Structure 1
Amino acid sequence: MRRVMSEVFGQTPVRVSRRGIFGASIAASSVLALASCSDDGGEEVDVDELSKGAMDDFAADSQFKATEPFSLSLLWTEWPELPITDSWQFFTEIEKRTNVKLETTIIPFSDAVEKRSLLISAGDAPMVIPIIYTGDENSFVSSGAILPISDYVEHMPHFQKYVEEWDLGDMIDNLKQADGKYYMLPGLQEVSVPVFTLIIRKDVFETVGGGIPETWDEMREALVKIKAEYPDSYPLADGFEAMSMLNYAAHAFGAQAGWGFGTGMMDDGSGKLQYTAVSAEYKEMVEFFRGLVADGLVDTDSLTAADDGSGGGSVTEKFANELVFAASGSNGTASDFAVALNETVGEGNYEVLQIAPPGGPAGMVCEPRNFWNGFMLNSEITESENFLATLQFLDWIYYNPEARELLRWGVLDETYTKDADGKITLNPEFRLDAFNINPDGETDIQKDLGWSNSVFADSTESRALKESYNTPTFVEYIDSVLATRTPRDPNPPAPLDELELEQAALLSTPIKDTVDTNTLRFIMGERDIAEWDDYVAELESQGLADYISLINGARDRFEEENS
């Protein structure tokens, strides 16, 4: 089962397995530099005057239940393979526990971003707008259409508790717009590891390649050995038009690329921001991958076309037929590869492993810690008599540990059990196809009951909850990343005002197009790396200096105002 999802930046469609959705883990902070703002963020309201249904004693780790029932409108993105039904246990159970009836406005995933924008711009959006990633809020801030929620987080004790316990305070500060406020609340992750990295044939790397590579240089050495043993192979592949591989590789070279390119601006080491695509580090990364392609070590088709998993030369098919031995993917991709290998090599005759992103000249580093999707609120919520109760409900459903477990697994002792050590087991009559759990169960807790839905379940997670539905090999992957890789520091924020945001968009779009085109041309050998200076000159002729000056001006202003 596959679908197209939008990566953290809300810009690049990404095709991933449902079992491997998101994290789609890319440095969310890099997009914050293009945050827009309003002049004053609106006037803060007295929530105590809008407290109908609110609990007087609501506190962290407590169950929220409205003292009076109320309805809450919600924007619901519907995937074609998971149609929403009113009969889902999800809706009835949430209402039973909280006294809150969710009233959904449904938009199709195929054009969810456009539909969401139209609803907000027309003033027709529901009160709660989920599946929001950092940066998604930018275009709505200046109009006053969404709430500066930072004014009200004092009423959200679960959010405050886990921001502190998981040491996420600095990351939250980076959500601030130029007015010093933030307009969305993200999903919090106790541990953050790259979702996309390399999936390898562990057995082949150990017997032929000399072991599991820890760096890109070691990866190159292993690929050369594998190519010699399997001469018809092109052992390294991406499958995501180079966007995935360049994303996780770039950090090891001290650059940003692919899905993680963001605004193109990154810390130069002094607190200022430089344009990564003209840096020596970016050039070194391009030269490295050019060398791999030149030596026949890369499946170049996988750099120019997305892998839809349908066969006919897909990366999955090539992996199964021992033409590719390392490819970009998530834990879901690893499972897809294993299923395909069962049909060709045979179960028990191979090992598939998700490895930590290889290190490089910049060290054993990976992307910065990352947020998951969260939500923003229609600013009209401040006119609701249930405003405070709504804040409490959202604080519970997004950040309370028991609520998070409920959203993933359903009802304790009905759909699943939990032992004294906290291990969760899905009862045998139930299954979760999205993660290949209990495939013989009669009832799918996602499709039939609404649990593990992507609107709510794929957000805040403790490490224990993340591990509860993933495979043991993915847990090993988490351990390996945490033990051997250091997350790169997020880039310093440089939020732009409304006029600057328009200027930045006009400047950055043609520049970014030139970067994308020529990065791939250099790597594929269609343009000689000796023309690097000419490439830089082309960017400068498109206004690169003005763009850099604009962003650094915003950076200086933000630093001065928030120092």
Structure 2
Amino acid sequence: MARAGHMMGRRTRSARAVGALTVVGALALAACGGSDGGSTNADGEPADLECSTEAVADQPWKAAEPREFSLLWTDWADYPITDSWDFFDEIEERTNVRLNLTNIPFSDATEKRSLLISAGDAPQIIPLVYTGEERQFAASGAVVPLSDYVDYMPNFQKYMEEWDLTDMVNDLRQEDGKYYMTPGLQEVSVPVFTLIIRKDVFDEVGAPAPETWEDLQEGLELIKAAYPDSQPLADGFEGQSMINYAAHAFGTVGGWGFGDGAWWDEDAGEFVYAATTDGYKDMVTYFNGLAENGLLDTESFTASNDGGGTVTEKFAAERVFAASGGSWTVQEFSTALEAAGVTDFELVQIAPPGGPAGMVVEPRNFWNGFMLTSDAVNDPNFCDLLGFTDWLYYNPEARELIQWGVEGEHYTKDAEGNYTLEPDITFAGLNLNPSGTIDLKKDLGYANDVFAGSTESRELKESYNVPAFVEYIDDVQSNRTPRDPFPPHPLDEAELEQSSLLGTPLKDTVDTATLEFILGQRDLSEWDSFVSQLEGQGLSNYMDLINGARERAAGNNG
């Protein structure tokens, strides 16, 4: 029987900054050895640490003495943290560290995090950091340059090298040549969002699963003819998801992946603004054509996927037959179709279609990692803090524990590496063992959204996904090419402020115009006027900042 609630009452609660709730969670962690602090010297360089160098990768790690570190915890509304979570107790037993958790809500986590860090009130460990989010904090000196301390992170170093990610990590270096977060490492990287299609309907109308966006349009036209009341293609994420994964095949970036808007023009040897490129115009023109012909559910490009009239409901009503989503969306659509009485269907998560730029998908990518706030180096147990975070984020023992819980209590694993939940354990989010009475995630805290999925071997990633997702991984790995990453162009603190002042209104203009062009609210004949509008908002000065930073970085690396 799982140990749900076997140590209730061990964690205490008290008020904290920004109205956040502090929860003390008992967590024990492995130590890297010594207990001397890691402060910087008078020149701002890292002071010599006397951490033990005996720590090696793939081994258990435990602090010699009880420690306490603070961590920023993001609460998801559907999975509130509770005192019954076995997750905290199990990590404590394996390690020797107590975590003091400052809780912030997911709804405004980014803003709360920034406020805490800027005010100097943030905990030592900042999880859920995606690459690029660390820049402002690195430039202001609010977080630790982790590149100075990777010698004490053997698990991180091993998998960075073993999975051929060293160059990508080096691209995280900021203007001073250091990187300030270590990311979640993925042995295989595939787009999280792509198209989910009703393959049985595509087959029914004589349209194979689309390999290109042109193929998709032909299939949608056949479906529209057979189902005239449908608008067969939908996004459900205000267009941001579909534009993101489509952009690469058109030779540009867009939607969620727009970033700073910089697109590397290999021929010109400089960055240009993505929204002014021919590829961006081609992409917008393509989606505008779908909208004009009734093939695109335009509502799904203007409304988020919640409330009435959602994409899921339209999928169930057989008015949408292809839509954006991830591996979990297949289950959501399947459940909705069955509830609507549709029993004979086949859902497939396909690789993002190719396009004019080739069979190209997003670059190989990281998942979320962590930062350490700058005052962490003054903790007398800084060595243990490094050892703990290295174990928690990169050690295979920790990664399996986070995802599956305790072997023999929550799951068993056979010789082939297949996981089976114990009879009393369920995982409702993945529809695993629905007859179980204790939810692995909601009741016990495993597979939580703060740590799960950050660093994963291919084996671990496949262990909790359905065979169809494994096929999706194979399809992407075999039939798509990740776009090469762009040259680094880190900005210093003053440049970051200036780029924000220029870049934010530029992106607002792009977002507005993109939807207007796609939905036909603005005629494509006005494209040149749109580009002129961007130029009038200081586009040249903005790109000068980015190209200047790129040239400086190239010089530093040369």
Q: TM-score by structure 2 length?
A: 0.90
| TM-aligned CA distance change 1:82 to 1:41, over 3 Å | farther
1:71-86 mapped onto 2 (5 Å cutoff): 71-86=68-83
Q: Deviations over 1:320-366 (max 9, x none)?
A: 1111110111111111110011022433x001111000000000010
SS at structure 2 position matched to 1:186: strand
Distance in 2, matches of 1:98 and 1:268, equals 49
1:131-280 mapped onto 2 (5 Å cutoff): 131-270=128-267, 271-280=269-278
Distance in 1, matches of 2:539 and 2:516, equals 20
> What percent of counterpart residues are identical?
62
Which residue is equivalent to 1:4? none
Shift of 1:139: 1.8
1:316 equivalent to 2:318? Answer: no
Q: Indicate which of 440, 463, 470 corresponds to 1:468.
A: 463
1:514 equivalent to 2:509? Answer: yes
Which residue is equivalent to 2:116? 119
Letter in 1 for 2:299: D
Q: Deviations over 1:472-525 (max 9, x none)?
A: 111111111111001101111111111111111111111111111111111111
Distance in 2, matches of 1:405 and 1:365, equals 32
Shift of 1:174: 1.0
Q: Deviations over 1:265-289 (max 9, x none)?
A: 0111144211110111111111111
Q: Indicate which of 299, 314, 323 corresponds to 1:301.
A: 299
Distance in 2, matches of 1:260 and 1:131, equals 17
Distance in 2, matches of 1:142 and 1:546, equals 21
1:130 equivalent to 2:127? Answer: yes
Which residue is equivalent to 2:22? none
SS at structure 1 position matched to 2:388: helix
Shift of 1:168: 0.6
Query: Which consecutive aligned stretches of 4+ in structure 1 deviate over 4 angstroms post-superposition?
Result: none
Contact 2:185–2:455 (8 Å) recurs in 1: yes
1:485 equivalent to 2:483? Answer: no
Q: Indicate which of 530, 548, 553 corresponds to 1:558.
A: 553
Distance in 2, matches of 1:41 and 1:75, equals 30
Contact 1:121–1:145 (8 Å) recurs in 2: yes
Which residue is equivalent to 2:332? 336
1:346 equivalent to 2:342? Answer: yes
1:290 equivalent to 2:292? Answer: no
1:407-426 mapped onto 2 (5 Å cutoff): 407-426=402-421
1:405 equivalent to 2:403? Answer: no
Shift of 1:134: 1.0
Which residue is equivalent to 1:44? 46
1:537 equivalent to 2:532? Answer: yes
Which residue is equivalent to 2:3? none
Distance in 2, matches of 1:396 and 1:415, equals 21
Distance in 1, matches of 2:87 and 2:108, equals 25
1:449 equivalent to 2:447? Answer: no
SS at structure 1 position matched to 2:453: coil
Distance in 1, matches of 2:221 and 2:424, equals 48
Contact 1:233–1:322 (8 Å) recurs in 2: yes
Distance in 2, matches of 1:504 and 1:523, equals 28
Letter in 2 for 1:169: T
Distance in 2, matches of 1:254 and 1:139, equals 28
Q: Indicate which of 408, 426, 444 corresponds to 1:431.
A: 426
Distance in 2, matches of 1:453 and 1:437, equals 16
Contact 2:233–2:323 (8 Å) recurs in 1: yes
SS at structure 2 position matched to 1:71: strand
Q: Deviations over 1:203-241 (max 9, x none)?
A: 001121421110011101111111001111111111111
Shift of 1:41: 9.7
Distance in 2, matches of 1:189 and 1:321, equals 37
Contact 2:363–2:485 (8 Å) recurs in 1: yes
SS at structure 1 position matched to 2:127: strand
Contact 1:42–1:144 (8 Å) recurs in 2: no
Contact 1:41–1:148 (8 Å) recurs in 2: no
Q: Deviations over 1:243-269 (max 9, x none)?
A: 111100010000101111111101111
**Gapped regions of structure 1 (runs ≥ 5):** 1-39
Query: How well do the aligned residues superpose, as a CA RMSD in angstroms?
Result: 1.4
1:360 equivalent to 2:355? Answer: yes
Q: Indicate which of 489, 492, 498 corresponds to 2:493.
A: 498
Shift of 1:390: 1.3
Letter in 2 for 1:104: L
Q: Deviations over 1:42-89 (max 9, x none)?
A: 3202221xx4xxx66310111001111211111111112212123321
Q: Deviations over 1:379-433 (max 9, x none)?
A: 1121122111111111111101111000111001110011111111111210111
**Gapped regions of structure 2 (runs ≥ 5):** 1-41
Which residue is equivalent to 1:281? 279
Contact 1:45–1:382 (8 Å) recurs in 2: no
Larger relative contact order (C-alpha < 8 A, sep ≥ 6)?
Answer: 1
Distance in 2, matches of 1:41 and 1:168, equals 31
Which residue is equivalent to 2:9? none
Contact 2:136–2:496 (8 Å) recurs in 1: no
SS at structure 2 position matched to 1:75: strand
Distance in 1, matches of 2:139 and 2:167, equals 24
Which residue is equivalent to 1:26? none
Distance in 2, matches of 1:535 and 1:462, equals 45
Contact 1:266–1:273 (8 Å) recurs in 2: yes
Letter in 1 for 2:424: E
Distance in 2, matches of 1:158 and 1:209, equals 50
Distance in 1, matches of 2:120 and 2:290, equals 52
Letter in 1 for 2:287: F
| TM-aligned CA distance change 1:457 to 1:96, over 3 Å | same
Contact 1:41–1:181 (8 Å) recurs in 2: no
Contact 1:315–1:324 (8 Å) recurs in 2: yes
Letter in 2 for 1:402: E
Contact 1:41–1:179 (8 Å) recurs in 2: no
Contact 2:53–2:152 (8 Å) recurs in 1: no
Letter in 1 for 2:347: V
SS at structure 2 position matched to 1:223: helix
Which is further off, 212-221 or 431-440? 431-440
Distance in 2, matches of 1:458 and 1:197, equals 18
| TM-aligned CA distance change 1:277 to 1:209, over 3 Å | farther
Distance in 2, matches of 1:216 and 1:145, equals 44
Distance in 1, matches of 2:557 and 2:166, equals 15
Distance in 1, matches of 2:80 and 2:302, equals 32
Distance in 2, matches of 1:532 and 1:209, equals 36
